[in-house]
Chain A
Amino acid sequence: AQSVTQLDSQVPVFEEAPVELRCNYSSSVSVYLFWYVQYPNQGLQLLLKYLSGSTLVKGINGFEAEFNKSQTSFHLRKPSVHISDTAEYFCAVSDGGGGFKTIFGAGTRLFVKA
């Protein structure tokens, strides 16, 4: 069965500093990997996704993530964060073999301080 572990429940960081939000997954099949962002009182929106090919994927708002198959990780990074990046971030995995379920991690709350 698939599972997703987000290693940090909260990440405080100062504005303009780099940040990494960690995500590990377990799956016995090929997977698709996603990061979503949720701003307060809103639904989730897709930041980026890995389907195949290059292991470094770029998303919206300057975020990028690297797929590491040997480490079964998909960490999200941004070189310089802004106050407006304060939100909750969810890592998710779905079955690349055609299943219809996506499993979400518990979320990481990113808090950017001035």
Chain B
Amino acid sequence: GAVVSQHPSRVICKSGTSVKIECRSLDFQATTMFWYRQFPKKSLMLMATSNEGSKATYEQGVEKDKFLINHASLTLSTLTVTSAHPEDSSFYICSARGAGENTGELFFGEGSRLTVL
């Protein structure tokens, strides 16, 4: 199957700083990527749908100015948590829609754990 890679897998930052998380589709082109947030012992919550070459579509209740999403190429989407605060500490997961023989299937990254001090 296709591979989606996230970087960094873990990041610790100070309150007030910004953090960028990258999501790459390694062996396929993904016109659509999704960003999720997972709280401890809870489900994945869809934050936004990232479309290559256009603005991301955010879910209700997600601050677009807080969570900046850029999908500049068919293999890369980035999530920037701006002016991070401790409540932004979470596990962020991206997924990308497969192409070709994997059309329709979603492939998930390994996740990025953000800790804001």
- A and B found bound together: no
- B contact residues vs A (CB 8 Å cutoff): none
- A contact residues vs B (CB 8 Å cutoff): none
